[in-house]
Copies of this chain bind each other. A is one copy, B any other.
């Protein structure tokens, strides 16, 4: 079992949240997934193991995880939210063509936050940023 899963389970315990088989499975899938799955991705992936599991269970658990701070919900232009359990600071690069999402580390844009505070008078709490483009596999092949 990965360290990350261990830590996550510990966080659940500390929050007084029961660790049910379904909850464990959703969490495990999220952590081992390199992608950033949608609720439906998770639901489909666990269909084999839990044939009777309800979509509502997936959504409920994702909400619990989000409230505890275990996962981040990513809302892009497309219809459904994606879930990311990598809570370390990072940004995402998203392919316009195939929707692939790649993590991308960059020093946090703290200056933007403080300038926004000065200009707008908001108490700034956080920001989000994504970069869009065409990934390697979607680039047109150059002809010679």
Hey, which chain B residues are within 8 Å of A121, CB to CB? 135-136
List, sorted by A's number, 22 A–B pairs whose CB atoms are closer than 8 Å: A73-B77, A75-B75, A91-B116, A96-B125, A102-B122, A104-B119, A104-B120, A106-B116, A109-B112, A112-B131, A116-B131, A116-B133, A121-B136, A122-B133, A122-B135, A122-B136, A123-B133, A125-B133, A126-B132, A127-B129, A127-B132, A129-B129
Most B C-beta atoms less than 10 A away, residue of A93, A122, A132, A134: A122
CB-CB contacts below 8 Å: A88-144 with B: 91, 93, 95-96, 102, 104-106, 109, 112-113, 115-117, 119-136, 139
**What's the nearest-Cβ distance from chain B to residue A142, in Å?**
12
Each complex incorporates copies of this chain amounting to: 2
Give Cα distance in the complex from A80 to B15, angstroms.
Answer: 32
Is A93's CB under 8 angstroms from B120's CB?
yes
Give Cα distance in the complex from A123 to B77, angstroms.
Answer: 19
**What's the nearest-Cβ distance from chain B to residue A26, in Å?**
20
Give Cα distance in the complex from A73 to B128, angstroms.
Answer: 16
Is B130's CB under 8 angstroms from A128's CB?
yes
Is A95's CB under 8 angstroms from B76's CB?
no
Contacts A127-B129, A128-B132 given; does A112 touch B122 at CB 8 Å: no
**What's the nearest-Cβ distance from chain B to residue A123, in Å?**
4
